Structure 1
Amino acid sequence: MSEVRAAIAQARTIVVKIGSSAITDLDTGIDHARLDSLVDALEARMRAGSDVVVVSSGAVGAGIAPLGLKKRPADLATKQAAASVGQLKLAQAWDASFSRYDRTVGQVLLTADDVSNRAHHANAQRTLDRLRALHAVAVVNENDTVATNELRFGDNDRLGALVAHLTVADALVLLSDVDGLYTGDPRKPGPDGKPARLIAEVAGPEDLDGVIAGSGGALGTGGMASKLSAARLAADSGVPVLLAAAAQADRALADASVGTVFAARPQRLSARRFWVRHAAEALGRLTIDAGAVDAVVARRRSLLAAGVTGVSGGFSSGDVVELAGPDGVVCARGVSSYDADDIADMAGKSSDDLPSDYSRPVIHADQLVRT
């Protein structure tokens, strides 16, 4: 067994994301037999000594059948209506299944703002930590009834990665209808006529060369592209990841011997730097010259006003902004020391030409992360 699989198998705190297709069906809604099977595997992992946090998709899928819909709705209002019905049924189903083992379930509904806003971020973290301390099973879902197209996690794979960071988890397991990461669609031959190959372990970006990832299916918003993105996000924050089929949940949660594993970076990002890089919404953008790109990216220096060539967005001091080089490519994110209007007035000026009120860097090196 590889070191990554051993780390996941022995993880003390684990976040398990369950895909919509694993527990819901277009015709019948929640598939209680499949959900019970997943809970059996989760219970076995908890009895082995692990704390488990569940991130459950399926609210919209669980509401489709009761509302008489024939397919996943495309418009936001109908999605929210389906979610309002489905969230109740999903919570009841998780509670009923875990009650077979005398487990108490707590539902945690999050929006993207709960993670991107630092105060909300801390509140969500405290709630999850307290549920674990009280020996309750936290079942997390995106609050689809109030989320908008402009303010969403995008999919529950990303939510799972963010919850793994919030809970300082030792591992993240993504369970859905796919049994791992392939070099292409395993149902179709590749350009060379050969079938796609399963990638057992991803140690770094070079292992993903040539990989083609697709979008989601009929019930979910995810897909291989979202799972790959979430796995890389979690691994970047220091959390190893296992991507496996929900049908193999017993083995995935027992010894991590199935699917694809993603190695974590050697050192976990601090909560502050993770928030700046992955969780916070960027409220503006600064365009910087080539010299500033070199200083920020290669030499890890603070961004000074002299290197700023353009400002966009109505952000304020303390907001997160993106930094883009002359080619328009975003190279970093950071917490602005000034309002957008102030930086527009400062742009291109040396420190000697600025009043004392503007003596601080535009973004201090401690508040910068490379992307």
Structure 2
Amino acid sequence: MSAADAVGLRPDALPEGARVVLKVGSSSLTRPDGGLDLNRIDIISGLLAGMRRRGHDVVLVSSGAVAAGLVPLGLESRPGELRLLQAAASVGQGRLVSRWQTALSAYGAVTAQVLLTAQDVAVRSHYRTVRATFDTLLSMGAVPVVNENDAVATTEFNLGDNDHLAALVSHLVTADVLILFTDVDGMWTARPGTPGARPVRYVGGTGELAGVRVDGDAGALGTGGMATKVQAATIACASGTATIIADADDAPRLLGGRTIPADLGTWFAPTGPHRSSRRLWMAHASMPEGRVLVDAGAARAVTEGKKSLLLPGVVGVDGDFESGSVVEIVGPQRVLARGICRYAAAEIEEVLEARGRGAPAPGDHVAPVVHRDDLAELPRTAGD
């Protein structure tokens, strides 16, 4: 949708007192030689401080730790080996947060470093602790600077790219708006420069993404691309957080005043309400221990009927989990939800085996497999 078409749909300003999560990618924070762009850091720091003065709580998710560690370690490009990535992150994270702290303090803002691991959000008790930490920091006027703790993260157990991390942080702090800065002017119908490609200024739901190509690469120093940003926007919007994807070069025009120009970036409207922290944790932070496969009827009951998942709709189980574990509920076409399963995998398998023989289900299996109160639906993405 063009800027003219978006008039009346796209807000012309951030909501008064809105809580904002802002993510800046590596491509926007580094110079061509791989070093940190101190001018960009200073500009964004001044804008963040100005937003604080206008009454906004602000959280900054900053990429760039690995990039900041390349030059000191004598590395010419982003390494592929995990141990070298961790070494670069270890060296670069301190340099990165130091630059943010210096720049923000010059504008009178207090900086707080928050390094997260998958364990911090996958474990429910840790998740609550992280939420409380953010709430305290923001209530005291600090600007949390967030990154994944790449020095100890593993390829098997990490939070993914920083676009996903920013969407997760927006859940943790119940943000009103998520801003994803990159090196292009928002989302386009095709790669910028492609004949016929045009910017999309407003997205009211994932159904409007049909025909939009978002398969751009991440660049030499980053881990995400436009596809990951659209996925992050979808996740955030499904839980009540509006999202803007914009060019970091346009940050002064976007954040420097009280209005948001209609010709900048792409605005994704919220598609669902803010959800409870428990459901947000289940949907986006928990680590599922298995999968429960369901038929089309059960899929409709869970998504359209907003019902609990019952045993008759279960057609398969994947994984070895105990009662009380978080599992994914998988329909014929996609992953539908996550929830707390009231049966162990072995119990479900017994029922399925008995069904296959035409025998009655063993034991007293009348409880829902996943009760509606313990279920969190997952948003459709552009590829679903």
**TM-score > 0.5, shorter chain as reference:** yes
- How many Å apart are 1:51 and its aligned residue? 1.1
Residues 295 and 208 (structure 1), Cα distance of their counterparts in 2 relative to 1, 3 Å cut: closer
- What does residue 42 of structure 2 align with? 36
Moved more, 200-209 or 315-324: 315-324
Choose which of 148, 169, 172 in structure 1 pairs with 2:175: 169
Residues 181 and 98 (structure 1), Cα distance of their counterparts in 2 relative to 1, 3 Å cut: same
- Tell me how far apart the structure 1 counterparts of residues 353 and 303 of structure 2 sit (CA, whole Å): 19
Are 1:197 and 2:205 counterparts? Answer: no
- Tell me how far apart the structure 1 counterparts of residues 367 and 14 of structure 2 sit (CA, whole Å): 44
How is 1:287-302 mapped onto 2 (pairs within 5 angstroms)?
287-302=293-308
Please, which runs of 5 or more residues in structure 2 have no aligned partner?
Answer: 1-6, 379-384
**Counterpart of 1:365 in structure 2: which amino acid?**
R
- What does residue 230 of structure 2 align with? 228
Residues 353 and 314 (structure 1), Cα distance of their counterparts in 2 relative to 1, 3 Å cut: closer
Identity over the aligned pairs, expressed in percent?
A: 45
Moved more, 205-214 or 157-166: 205-214
- What does residue 76 of structure 2 align with? 70
- Tell me how far apart the structure 2 counterparts of residues 35 and 239 of structure 1 sit (CA, whole Å): 25
Choose which of 331, 335, 341 in structure 2 pairs with 1:330: 335
How is 1:253-332 mapped onto 2 (pairs within 5 angstroms)?
253=255, 254=257, 255-257=259-261, 258-325=264-331, 327=332, 329-332=334-337
Please, which runs of 5 or more residues in structure 1 have no aligned partner?
Answer: none
- Tell me how far apart the structure 1 counterparts of residues 137 and 144 of structure 2 sit (CA, whole Å): 6
- What does residue 109 of structure 2 align with? 103
**Counterpart of 2:245 in structure 1: which amino acid?**
L
Choose which of 44, 55, 59 in structure 2 pairs with 1:53: 59
Are 1:366 and 2:368 counterparts? Answer: no
State the TM-score, normalized to the length of structure 1. 0.91
- Tell me how far apart the structure 2 counterparts of residues 278 and 126 of structure 1 sit (CA, whole Å): 18
- Tell me how far apart the structure 2 counterparts of residues 160 and 227 of structure 1 sit (CA, whole Å): 10
Find the residue that maps to 2:87 and give its secondary structure: helix
Contact 2:323 2:341 in 1 (8 A): yes
Moved more, 177-186 or 279-288: 279-288
- Tell me how far apart the structure 1 counterparts of residues 276 and 374 of structure 2 sit (CA, whole Å): 12
Find the residue that maps to 2:33 and give its secondary structure: coil
- What does residue 217 of structure 1 align with? 219
Aligned positions, number: 364
- Tell me how far apart the structure 2 counterparts of residues 297 and 101 of structure 1 sit (CA, whole Å): 48
- How many Å apart are 1:32 and its aligned residue? 1.1
Are 1:355 and 2:363 counterparts? Answer: yes
Residues 11 and 202 (structure 1), Cα distance of their counterparts in 2 relative to 1, 3 Å cut: farther
State the TM-score, normalized to the length of structure 2. 0.89
